[in-house]
Structure formats: structure tokens, C-alpha cells
A and B are shown apart, each in its own frame.
Chain A
Amino acid sequence: MKAAAGCAAALALPLLLPSRHLATFVLLTLAAAVTVGVSLLMGYAGQVSLGQASFYAIGAYAAGLLAVHGTPPLLGLLLAPVLAAAAAALIGFPLLRLRGHHLAFATLAVQLILLSLLAQASWAGGAIGLQGIPRFSIGGYSLTDDLGYAYLALLVLGIALLVSRNVVSSRAGRGLRAAATSEIAAAASGVPVGGYRLAVFALSAAFAGLAGGVYAFFLGYLAPGSFPVLLSIEYVVMAVVGGLGTIAGPVVGAVLIVVLVQVLNTLGTQPGMPDYAPSVLSYAVYALVLVVCVLYLPKGVVPSVSAALHARRR
């Protein structure tokens, strides 16, 4: 029931929004889709990834490069998550031996390596970036306006939410939750912990890759600078703020953060404000929201609010 209402609201929103806000809506929806994966990874597999933007970048570059070289955009978009997941499986095989802060730094290192390689790769546009990516099209119909991309992004988010819900309630999901509490107990009960962890890592990368593919077609231009380390941190902030290990958490977290940043951005670009105001405000928002949330609302917004509602109803 709640899910249906949420779907209806999400589908109606792009039509109701003023068109100048549609671009923000698209980016917000894509960020939410990536955050679904981060939340799955952090909440169920107990792993912190500070390099999720690298899979976003891999998906975007895969779709972009394929499209530039004449592959049909639909095929490129479908291959983007596959390639991102394959990269994650390849990287994850050695990396997922690591735990906690080691894994956090390892994923961060992977992203820095990727950015450095992309900046030197002339075939991918180098530091200047990859230009001239065509618009997304299926058959002869080409998606040109922001409204179309808003629905494409919603479709991606919907897929990510649906898959992640099914994974969580599946046998593998139960095994993962058991492993997050006690790895040894879960392994002793026959849960293939390592394999499941790798699968979730690859799945979260696939979400990021799919979102990245849409991003490439939406903007038509990619550069290593579009995928800074701060972007990976943003996803972690959104996941933590929304509430780890919940389905609605990533969406709520992404909406809260993006709306807050947008409001402050509007404030920061008012006449009379110094030109550094927008960036200062957005850094401060990420930082303060993250710190306050981790310390005083450690379960995140969604579990806390629903617990409060539950208590009231009794």
C-alpha cells in the first residue's frame, strides 16, 4: 500500500515539477539508485565502500564509449551495469578479504587509481573528457527532453529498489544478515559468506553502473572530474542518513540531502553572497548532517521515524 503510494507520487512528480528543476530531479534519482546499492552493501554485508563513484564512472564511460563508437544506446545502457559488476567482481575478489577501515581505504584507492588512469587514457578523452555522446534512443525514437530522462532515471531506481528488496528477503539475504552479526557463526551454519559478499558487491556496482549509463546519455559529456572522491562520500552520507538496511532509506536520504543542498545553493547564489558560498555551504551540509546523524541518529532517519510512529500508534 505504502509502496504503491510512493510509486504514484514518484511518477507524478516529474510532471508537477517546474522544468528548471528537472535536471536536479534526474541527478537525485540516479544518486538514490546508487545509494540503494551502498545501503545494501553497508547495511547487509557490513562493508563500507568509499569508492562507489568508481562503478558509477565505469558504467558511464562504458555506455558513453560504446555509444560514441556507434553501438545502439540501448545495448550500451544494458552493458553498463554488466561491465561495472564484472569490474567489481574482479576487484572484489582480492579486496573483500579486507574488513572495516582497510576495505574503506582500499575502495578509495581503487577510485583514485581509476581516476588517474582515466585522466591519462587518450582513448577515453583523457583529462579533457569524453565528448559527443549521442542522446539515448530506442529504435528511431530518441530521448531529448529532461522529462524523458526523469522517467528513465525513475525506471532505474525502481529496478534497483525491486532487486534489492527481493535480495534482502531471499535466502541469500538472510544469510548475509546473519553474517553481518557474526561472520563465524554464519559460516559455521553453512552460509557461503565470501561468495555472498562478493555477489552483493557486484550487485551494488551494477546499480551504480546502470545509473552511470543514464548519466552519460543525459549529460552527453564525461570527464574524470565528474566522479570525485567526494561523490563516493556523498553516497555514504545519503545511505547513513536515510538508514542502513532499509528499502526506503536510500531514497529518503538522497532526497533529504539533495533538497537541503539545493535550498542552500539557491541561498548561496543570491546576489550579495560571495562566490565561494555555494561550495562552502554544500561541504558544510554533508559534513554536519553526516556527523550529527551518525552520533545522534545512528539508525538513520527512516528507522527512527517509523519507530516513533509505531510507538505513537500503540
Chain B
Amino acid sequence: MSDLVGYVVTGLGIGAGFALVASGLVAIYRVTRVVNFAQGAFAVLAAMFTGTLLTAGLPHGVAELGGVLLGAAAGLIVGVIAIGRPGTSPGTSLIVTLGLGVLAYAIEVLIWGDQPRSYPGVPGVAEVAGARLQAHYLLILAVTGPVFAGLSWFFLRTDLGKALSACASNRYAAQIVGIDVRRMGLIAFGLGGALGGLAGVLTTPVQQVTFDSDVALIVNGFAAAVLGGLTRPVVALAGGLLLGVAQTLVAGYGGGAYQVEVALVLMLTVMIVQSARTPIAVAA
């Protein structure tokens, strides 16, 4: 029993990371219709930068904030390049973000080298219902919950958030009422960058990060986001948590070898079922 609780809590912690990556993807996709392939790179950049700041002697909290801010800045830069030119189609933007994700490899290897990196998080071991696990997982959950609550407050209650949602539901109508759709797209990219950065910053103490960890992050994040059709942040949260728990359960009880496949097969199944239910004209 305590094994099960341990796996579930650990899984929730890992899943929260996926959910944050996914929410960044969703934030960008809703407004711009661009699937941002560089989303995993934000996490890696933020995590590596946080490590450097901590080594430089900055206290915890400040260093993590620096990482998240770098993620937001990277998001904004990617946004400017991917949607800055008027008339760039979402398909073209996807290829551009793919290229920028590879460019991030060059930058990361140049500055931080190609070895795995990590830094200490919350020290010690916590006990939850008899299960012993790294206390840091609880911090991940404690941060992710309020972040998602804040996100839904932001989208539903603030003017800026409402403007973003307006672009998401009907670009044309949003333009008519005077919303600058392109600026909203850039803001969405910045927000997505910050969320991706937060994912990297939070999970690095329990999962080492290398320059190419972004592939695993983006695939898991996409898998979580696709459950909600890439447009619903709360479903993305549920998807991420489900994915994390499923992976740790398979790893825990199944010997650990097949946890990658679980996420991927789940994602493929969801996409295929979804596409079978939507007519071609809508999916295209």
C-alpha cells in the first residue's frame, strides 16, 4: 500500500512537470494556432541557467526566478521569429520553432557543455501515508497547484487574459474589437516560455537535465496537451498528472523498462480516437 502511495505521489510530481510544459504549449496554441516545438528547450534553458545562478551564490528562490524569466525571454524571442513576419502560416511556424529548438542545442552545448546537470532542491525525505519519497516532489505539487489556479484566474478575470482568450476563440472578431492579435501572440509565447521554464526549474532537482532532454519533455507535454485538444489548460493538467502517474506505476510494477512507451502509446491512441471523431475538414 505504501508503495502505491509513493508511486502515485512521485508520479504526480513528474506529471506536474509535464502539465506545466503542456500548459505552455496550450497557452501558445490557443492564441496563435502554432504548436511550439521549442517548448522543451525553454525548460532546459531555464534549468541550466538556474544551476549557473545557484553556483554563482544566489539564494534559492532568486535563482529559480531568474531561470523562469530567462524562459519567458526565450519564449518571446521564439515568438518574434516564429510569428513576427506577417503572413507566416502555423505550419511554417511549426518548422521554424523546430529549427529554433535545434538552435537551443547549439547555445546550451556552447555555454553548459553536453553533460547532465542538476542542482539540489528541497533536501530530505518526506513521509506521506507511510510512503517515503523525496521531499522535493511535494514542492513541485505545492507550486504547480497555485500556478494553474492563477492561470485560470488570469484567463477568466483579467483584461489581458480575456483578450488572449478572445483571440483564441475568434481571431477575426478579436481584431474587430481592437485587440492586437500579433501582440497577443507574442504575449502568449512569453507566457508559454515562462511556464516551460518553470517546468524545467522545478523538476531538475529530481531529474537531471541534458541539452537534449527537451525531446522527452515536449513529447510528454504534447501528449498531455493533446488530451484537451491543445486548447484546454485544465485538461492538460489532468493529462499531465495522469501521464506521470501511469509512467511511475509502470516503472514501479513493470520493471521500469517500458515507461517511455506508455506515454507515447497513450498519446497516439488519444490522437487517433480524436481524429476518428472529428471530420476531416475540421482536423485539416
Set A48, A97, A284, A291: member contacting B106, Cβ < 8 A = A284
Assess the A97–B272 pair: CB atoms within 8 A.
yes
Residues 102-114 of chain B: 1 if any A CB is under 8 Å from the residue's CB, otherwise 0? Answer: 1101100110011
Assess the B215–A290 pair: CB atoms within 8 A.
no
Assess the A116–B261 pair: CB atoms within 8 A.
yes
Chain B residues within an 8 Å CB radius of A106: 267-268, 271
- Chain A stretch 261-314: residues in CB contact (< 8 A) with chain B: 276, 279-281, 283-284, 286-288, 290-291, 294-295, 298
Asked if A108 is at the interface of the complex by the 8 Å CB criterion, the answer is: yes
Chain B residues within an 8 Å CB radius of A279: 109, 114
Asked if A104 is at the interface of the complex by the 8 Å CB criterion, the answer is: yes
Assess the A229–B215 pair: CB atoms within 8 A.
yes
Chain B residues within an 8 Å CB radius of A281: 106
Assess the B96–A95 pair: CB atoms within 8 A.
no
Chain B residues within an 8 Å CB radius of A109: 219, 223, 264, 267-268
Asked if A117 is at the interface of the complex by the 8 Å CB criterion, the answer is: yes
- Chain B stretch 236-284: residues in CB contact (< 8 A) with chain A: 257-258, 260-261, 264-265, 267-268, 271-272, 275-276, 280-281, 283-284
In the complex with contacts A230-B102, A233-B98, A283-B105, A112-B92 CB distance below 8 A: no
* Distance to closest chain A CB from B185 (angstroms): 16
Set B81, B106, B265: member contacting A280, Cβ < 8 A = B106
* Distance to closest chain A CB from B32 (angstroms): 12
Asked if B35 is at the interface of the complex by the 8 Å CB criterion, the answer is: yes
Set A48, A97, A104, A280: member contacting B109, Cβ < 8 A = A280
In the complex with contacts A105-B219, A120-B257, A229-B215, A99-B283 CB distance below 8 A: yes
Kindly report which residue of chain A lies nearest to residue B98, judged by CB atoms.
Answer: A233
Asked if B99 is at the interface of the complex by the 8 Å CB criterion, the answer is: yes
Asked if B88 is at the interface of the complex by the 8 Å CB criterion, the answer is: yes
C-alpha gap A102/B275 in the complex (Å) = 9
Chain B residues within an 8 Å CB radius of A162: none
* Distance to closest chain B CB from A305 (angstroms): 20
* Distance to closest chain A CB from B105 (angstroms): 4
Kindly report which residue of chain B lies nearest to residue A279, judged by CB atoms.
Answer: B109
Asked if A94 is at the interface of the complex by the 8 Å CB criterion, the answer is: yes
Chain A residues within an 8 Å CB radius of B281: 184
Set B81, B109, B212, B222: member contacting A105, Cβ < 8 A = B222
Residue in B100, B264, B265 with the greatest tally of chain A CB atoms within 10 Å: B264
* Distance to closest chain B CB from A308 (angstroms): 21
Residue in A106, A117, A237, A287 with the greatest tally of chain B CB atoms within 10 Å: A287
Chain A residues within an 8 Å CB radius of B157: none
Asked if B174 is at the interface of the complex by the 8 Å CB criterion, the answer is: no
Kindly report which residue of chain B lies nearest to residue A291, judged by CB atoms.
Answer: B99
Asked if A101 is at the interface of the complex by the 8 Å CB criterion, the answer is: yes
The majority secondary structure among interface residues of chain B is helix
Assess the A290–B98 pair: CB atoms within 8 A.
yes
Assess the A101–B261 pair: CB atoms within 8 A.
no
Assess the A98–B95 pair: CB atoms within 8 A.
no
In the complex with contacts A287-B99, A291-B99, A95-B272 CB distance below 8 A: yes
C-alpha gap A224/B92 in the complex (Å) = 30
C-alpha gap A294/B81 in the complex (Å) = 11
Residue in A113, A184, A281 with the greatest tally of chain B CB atoms within 10 Å: A113
* Distance to closest chain A CB from B96 (angstroms): 5
C-alpha gap A95/B103 in the complex (Å) = 29
Assess the B85–A183 pair: CB atoms within 8 A.
no
Assess the B102–A290 pair: CB atoms within 8 A.
yes
Asked if B226 is at the interface of the complex by the 8 Å CB criterion, the answer is: yes
Assess the A287–B261 pair: CB atoms within 8 A.
no
Assess the B96–A98 pair: CB atoms within 8 A.
no
Set B114, B260, B267, B275: member contacting A116, Cβ < 8 A = B260
Residue in A101, A113, A276, A280 with the greatest tally of chain B CB atoms within 10 Å: A101
Chain A residues within an 8 Å CB radius of B265: 113
Asked if B94 is at the interface of the complex by the 8 Å CB criterion, the answer is: yes
User: Which of A's residues lie within 8 Å of B, judged by CB?
Assistant: 48, 50, 94-95, 97-102, 104-106, 108-110, 112-113, 116-117, 120, 183-184, 229-230, 233, 236-237, 240, 276, 279-281, 283-284, 286-288, 290-291, 294-295, 298
Which 3 pairs show the lowest CB-CB distances between chains A and B? A287-B103, A290-B99, A283-B106
12 inter-chain pairs at a CB distance below 8 angstroms, sorted by A residue, are A48-B94, A50-B98, A98-B275, A105-B35, A109-B219, A109-B223, A109-B267, A236-B95, A276-B113, A287-B102, A290-B95, A295-B92
